Chains A and B, each alone.
Chain A
Amino acid sequence: AQSVAQPEDQVNVAEGNPLTVKCTYSVSGNPYLFWYVQYPNRGLQFLLKYITGDNLVKGSYGFEAEFNKSQTSFHLKKPSALVSDSALYFCAVRGLTGGGNKLTFGTGTQLKVEL
């Protein structure tokens, strides 16, 4: 079975500082990995994905993520945080052996960016 862990329920960062939201995964075979963001009472918005190739993936709103196969991690990063980045962030994985077209989501990390 595939699974995702987001070890931090909340991350606090000062505006202008770099941010990291952690994600580790477990799947059989090679994974497809995704990051989504959710604002209050809204649906999830796609930020970026890793399929294959370069381990550093760039996405929307200045976010990027680094795929590390040996550590089975896919941490989300941004060089300089904005107050408007405050939201709930979800990591998701889709395995390529079984599981079909289904995503497995982590429990989410609340990011709070303060002035």
Chain B
Amino acid sequence: DGGITQSPKYLFRKEGQNVTLSCEQNLNHDAMYWYRQDPGQGLRLIYYSQIVNDFQKGDIAEGYSVSREKKESFPLTVTSAQKNPTAFYLCASSSGQQSYSNQPQHFGDGTRLSIL
């Protein structure tokens, strides 16, 4: 079955540590996204990529970094500069790299990150 796989499901970060969240899709989608979900705040966009080797900052990119070396993969690194990393992180993808695609985004099942 085609879909988006996020791993791990739960992740714990120590003070001063960088951690990387994995996101892999086999939907052959061009665009991929990372969101952060906090209770009562909905989803906020961290980074997005519309094509391999290119990505743009979203609304809350500070303290995060990404890479897009392969079409299927869009890992997110939460750096030690992110002082409040505890949240539910969601990865999504959509078809069509054009700017105004009307295709819906498909989501993985998330990674819950906590501070030790």
Residues of A with Cβ closer than 8 Å to B?
A: 9, 32, 34, 36, 41-46, 49, 51, 90, 94, 96, 100-103, 105-108
Q: Is the CB of A107 within 8 A of B58?
A: no
B90 within 8 A of A: yes
Interface size for B (C-beta < 8 A) is: 30
Q: Is the CB of A105 within 8 A of B50?
A: no
Besides A36-B107, A43-B109, A108-B42, 17 more A-B contacts (Cβ < 8 Å) are A32-B100, A41-B109, A43-B6, A43-B90, A43-B108, A44-B43, A45-B107, A49-B102, A51-B102, A90-B43, A100-B50, A100-B99, A102-B45, A102-B58, A103-B105, A105-B42, A107-B41
B75 within 8 A of A: no
Please classify the interface of chain A as helix (H, G, I), strand (E, B), loop, or mixed, using the class held by over half of its residues. loop
Distance of A42 Cα from B55 Cα, bound (Å): 25
Give per-residue flags for B20-61: 1 if the beta carbon is below 8 A from chain A beta carbons, else 0: 000000000001000000001111010010100000101000
Instruction: Tell me the number of A-to-B contacts counted with CB atoms below 8 Å.
Output: 62
B78 within 8 A of A: no
CB closest chain-A residue, reference B56: A100
**Which residues of chain A come closer than 8 Å to B42, judged between CB atoms?**
90, 105-108
B4 within 8 A of A: yes
Residues of B with Cβ closer than 8 Å to A?
A: 4, 6, 31, 40-43, 45, 48, 50, 56, 58, 90, 92, 94, 96-102, 104-110, 112
Q: Is the CB of B4 within 8 A of A43?
A: yes
Instruction: Name 14 interchain pairs, CB-CB below 8 A, sorted by A.
Output: A41-B110, A42-B110, A43-B92, A43-B110, A44-B90, A46-B104, A90-B43, A96-B100, A101-B31, A101-B48, A101-B96, A102-B48, A103-B105, A107-B41
